[in-house]
Amino acid sequence: MSGVHPPDEPTLLQLRERFRSREDTPLAAVERALDRMDAHDGTIHAFLAVDRDRALAEAETATKAWRAAGPRPALLGLPISVKDTIEVAGMPTTYGSAVFRHNRRPDSVIAERLRRHGAIIIGKTNTSEFALCTDVRNRLTGPGRNPLDTARSCGGSSGGAAASVAAGMSAAAVGTDSAGSIRIPAAYQGLVGFKPSFRRVPWVQDWNAAPTRSHPGPITRDARDAWELTKALGGADWRDPASALAPLADEEFESALRRGTDGLRVAFIADTSAPTSAGASAEVSASEEAALARDLTDFLRDVFGALDRLRWDRLVPPPTTARVWPYAAEHVAAALRLSPDFFDAVEELTDYARPIYEAGRTQSAAEYLRATGEERERGLALRHALAAYDYAFSVVAPEPPRVTETYSPLQFPRLALLNLAGLPAVSVPFGAYRSGMPRAMQIFGRFGDDAGVLAMAEKLTRSL
């Protein structure tokens, strides 16, 4: 494997402690991140935009603030990247599309909260066009590559966000997840990827192509970092009526960490079908997938004792066949809101995005309401089925990331079910495949129990 990931990179909280002890400074941290971009981003294509001057200026200000006495915001001086579907003032927001290469927007609520807590938004990370693909390919830059092995995919659609962390170009990242888009690239790159409860983090910005499914969340080196970033981003905003959850408090996380495993009811949910794609991978083998499931269930039994085994296909009714992807019209509406002449530039869309937008243009209101209503019912069925369990577990990806040149994007329908249900879910590293690439397990819990899910992730990773 040929990789560009730096060894022994500090976590977000470790870096903050180095600032506090004066072993390091925000200015030095930002300079290191920019140096790594110069050295390696021409290969991995993690970023679509970087505001060097502003990042360095803010780092100088933060360095002075750390030297001064007095209270400091929680993320002061920490370099954090933001997926390019999230609007940030001062840099283009393309949503991974050449159609919007010159698009400028004011700060989203996510950018507002990062800045309020002192973070330095170092750049906008690469994504598939309109976050529609589990790989990172668009017409703006080269394909996203995995810093652990640059011949392989970084996953998607928040692949650039994860790659920026894995390559040491940011201390943490914020991505979005409407069907696994945080959890997949985190799994592929040995990171923690957290999809909070639906609208734990509000979505307030001009572009909104997944209003009922998208969960903004962190990609970090460990679960404590994910908690810290979710805490900073979380809390209701009047501009997003779905964001009704209260701000998070550290005592929730610490209390969940102290809680033992006795009396917890837990389940492992097995899949009966591998992710699907148009192509086959020689590295995928039934024995390797079975080994991952077996290792995970053995580990969970050692931790919890009793473990129920469930199956996805028995928990949730199958989707009905629809002429058009149920959410195509939402994407069309979001694009037209930004640009009424959007379809004049349809030739600039990628081969995977254009059919979705062309179909969404013809989707009737009746088709949309029927299909999305059925999807919502599937999500409610899953939430109801899992209500009896404190936590549930599953595989994230049953195979390693594929080689970029021969990659045919996979679909992960089981991951998307948790978006329909709105439940908190986190991907955490769990050993390695025979190739040496990381494996991952998924932990999920009841709606609103973000602290419990991340505390469980922290406890289990200590046990590995």
459 is catalytic: no
CA distance 181 to 184: 6
Amino acid in position 109: V
Q: What torsion do the CA atoms of 240, 245, 248, 253 make, to the nearest 10 degrees?
A: -140
Across the strands, what pairs with 172?
Answer: 80
Annotated catalytic residue 83: yes
Per annotation, catalytic residue among 158, 164, 181, 243: 181
Q: Which residues of 439-455 are buried (b: 16+ CB within 10 A; e: fewer)?
A: bbbbbbbbbbbbbbbbb
Q: Tokens representing 299?
A: 């580990």
Residues 6+ apart with CB under 8 A from 178: 131, 210, 213, 214, 215, 416, 419
Please state, in angstroms and rounded to a whole number, the distance separating the CA atoms of residues 161 and 173.
6
Using DSSP bridges, classify how beta strands 120-125 and 79-83 pair: parallel, antiparallel or unpaired: parallel
Of the residues 108, 157, 394, 427, which is catalytic? 157
- Is 277 an annotated catalytic residue? no
- 170: closest CA among 333, 51, 273? 51
Length in residues, the chain: 464
Catalytic residues: 83, 157, 181
